[in-house]
Chain A
Amino acid sequence: MSFTRLVLVARWSFSQLLLSPRTIGMGALAFTPVFVAVVYRVAAALELAPGISGFRVFSVLTASISLPFVVPMLSLFYASGVVSDDAEAGTLRYFLIRPIPRPELIFGKMIASATMALFLFVPPFVLSYYLTLAPSGFAELGTRFPTLLRDLLAVALALFAYNGLFALAGTVLRRPLLFGLFFVFGWQAGAAVVPGSARLFTVTHYLNSLIPRGGAGGALAQLTGERATMPEAIVALLVIGAATHLLAAWCFRRKEL
């Protein structure tokens, strides 16, 4: 595999994603936590939200919007289009007849889709962190900063896993969006409430294990199996991501136009 070609494909694909008008819509989606953070700040200024700490607000935004909604939607939107976007733009055929191995081509595009999702997610996430914690002072911002970093790393891992999964769906299925929505809002939501090991086959289980705020906490959750340990969660997300990325490349290698 040529690293130079991989970077070339990734850069090109990323630039096409960035220039697309669809980025505006996805950007608006990524800014929903910021919107709520602004509403909270206004409410706090008008003394309509007594007794709620900034960190509590940030935790709620993370647990209620960013993790269950923004992260999977961004990933689904970009990763499921790794093949279909080029097909719709009329450019796929030109790439397939270049002397570049197909796995390299799709790896480059998957790197671009993951980067794009992260690129759209991080600034609003950090902005909402600032907006919610700033009224508590710089000390609070500094104290909670490791939590922010940890959250961002956890989200990066989750995006890696989602990216592979939805890219695989985009390569194999005619309607990857429907599959993705079923997976995120059907399977994952259902597996979370059903007792048993179904939750092990979700991304949210491991993501919530890395960012336990907003749900059942700590040791008790681990004891009851509602949470995995941090090493388990990291390994699981890496395995899911790696396996699905490789499978997507394998399927793309065999895809006929």
Chain B
Amino acid sequence: MSASVIALRGASRWYGNVLGLSRVDLTFEPGVTALLGPNGAGKSTLLKLVTGLLKPSAGSVEVFGEPPFANAKIYKKLGLVPEEEDFRARVTAIEWLEYLVRLSGVDGALAPEVARRALDDVGLSEAAERRVTAFSRGMKQRLRIAQAVAHDPEVLVFDEPLTGLDPAGRREIIDRIRLWGAAGKTVIVSSHILHEVELMTREVVLMTAGKVMASGNIHEIRQLMDAHPHHILITTPDPRQLAARLLQEEGLHSISYSEERAQVELVTREPDHFYRLVAGFVLDGTTTIEEISSPDDNLEAVFHYLVGK
């Protein structure tokens, strides 16, 4: 069995009497994984453990097979975009990035070029000579991303990467994150913005109160959630007729229809069976279906069911 890039085994972390993380067993592989949870769920603690800013109180954390805490070797292959905090160093963007790039081991002669390329990648090339303290929130966030990716690390950790960005900027960074994941990097993204996380990845880790509630593909997690039957919405010109046909089927939890909205809503623990059934109705020409959707087969619903917020 090949070793995972990042592995947490029984990792726990206390802050005095407060439990920040409780016996977390997780692995992260190449690709994009989203870390989701309400405030105080333990996401930041987990990220700090993975990036070596904290040590676990119990259990172990390994990155490339080694504990990351104060481990200089790991940081050649790791980049962190920390959450937004005030930045007051008296430097220009290019000076700041050059310094960090040089600290990352890039040769002094190459550092300016590497830094400029990173600024270009995040759309800050025109602001390179400007003081960072004069940057807008969005520009500072782009700079945070630039410093994380400049040395081309294999692992990227993003803590709320879309904060402060305008809609176009958010779209751009989401696309880049997907590209980095597709290129084989191990990308962890912590975020609150569920619909944007869904655009990045289907692999999620859901946390609350320091514990991992679920991890894996959103749909697989949803399938396993027996306590919450699926809702399926079908838009059809004759909802009453469709409802009458579906009523006969087994595995139906409840069904309702609305003539005004031309919709049938059914609740079932066997959504795949009903998808096939309705497709059959369309194929045999007995029913006209305009739209089928599942309002709770998405990240927000999964999040809401598991976390309850």
Which residues of A come within 8 Å of B, CB atoms? Answer: 5, 8-9, 12, 16, 19-20, 88-91, 93-102, 253-254, 256-257
The answer to whether B147 has its CB under 8 Å from any CB of chain A is yes
- Give B70-102 as 1s and 0s: 1 = Cβ < 8 Å from A's Cβ atoms: 101111101110100111111100000001101
A60 to B87 Cα, complex, angstroms: 44
Cβ A95 vs Cβ B89 within 8 A: no
Most buried by B among A20, A90, A253: A90
Cβ A97 vs Cβ B90 within 8 A: no
Cβ B55 vs Cβ A256 within 8 A: yes
**How many of B's residues come within 8 Å of A, CB to CB?**
31
Which of B54, B72, B79 interacts with A100 by CB under 8 Å? Answer: B72
Cβ B53 vs Cβ A99 within 8 A: no
Determine the main DSSP class of B at the interface with A. loop
B4 to chain A, nearest CB (A): 20
Cβ A257 vs Cβ B54 within 8 A: yes
A248 to chain B, nearest CB (A): 15
20 examples of A-B residue contacts, CB within 8 angstroms: A9-B103, A19-B90, A90-B86, A90-B87, A94-B82, A96-B70, A97-B51, A97-B53, A98-B72, A98-B100, A99-B73, A99-B74, A99-B76, A99-B105, A102-B70, A102-B72, A256-B54, A256-B55, A257-B53, A257-B54
B105 neighbours in A (Cβ, 8 Å): 99
Which of A5, A16, A101 interacts with B90 by CB under 8 Å? Answer: A16
A102 neighbours in B (Cβ, 8 Å): 70, 72
A12 to B95 Cα, complex, angstroms: 10
**Minimal Cβ-Cβ distance residue in A for B90:** A19
The answer to whether B43 has its CB under 8 Å from any CB of chain A is no
Which of A12, A16, A20, A257 interacts with B48 by CB under 8 Å? Answer: A257
- Give B47-62 as 1s and 0s: 1 = Cβ < 8 Å from A's Cβ atoms: 0100111110000000
A89 neighbours in B (Cβ, 8 Å): 87-89
A186 to chain B, nearest CB (A): 31
Which of A19, A20, A90, A100 interacts with B103 by CB under 8 Å? Answer: A100
A2 to chain B, nearest CB (A): 9
The answer to whether B104 has its CB under 8 Å from any CB of chain A is yes
Cβ A96 vs Cβ B103 within 8 A: no
B85 neighbours in A (Cβ, 8 Å): 90, 93
Cβ A8 vs Cβ B82 within 8 A: no
Cβ A91 vs Cβ B53 within 8 A: no
- Give B99-119 as 1s and 0s: 1 = Cβ < 8 Å from A's Cβ atoms: 110111100000000000000
Cβ A90 vs Cβ B88 within 8 A: yes
Cβ B70 vs Cβ A253 within 8 A: yes
Which of B52, B72, B80, B89 interacts with A16 by CB under 8 Å? Answer: B89
A16 neighbours in B (Cβ, 8 Å): 89-91
Which of A20, A88, A101, A257 interacts with B72 by CB under 8 Å? Answer: A101
A161 to B10 Cα, complex, angstroms: 44
A98 to B262 Cα, complex, angstroms: 59
Cβ B103 vs Cβ A95 within 8 A: yes
Known contacts being A16-B90, A90-B85, A93-B82, is A5 close to B70, with CB within 8 Å?
Answer: no
Most buried by B among A95, A96, A254: A96
A16 to chain B, nearest CB (A): 7
A90 neighbours in B (Cβ, 8 Å): 85-89
Most buried by B among A91, A102, A254, A257: A91
Cβ A91 vs Cβ B89 within 8 A: yes
- Give B213-252 as 1s and 0s: 1 = Cβ < 8 Å from A's Cβ atoms: 0000000000000000000000000000000000000000
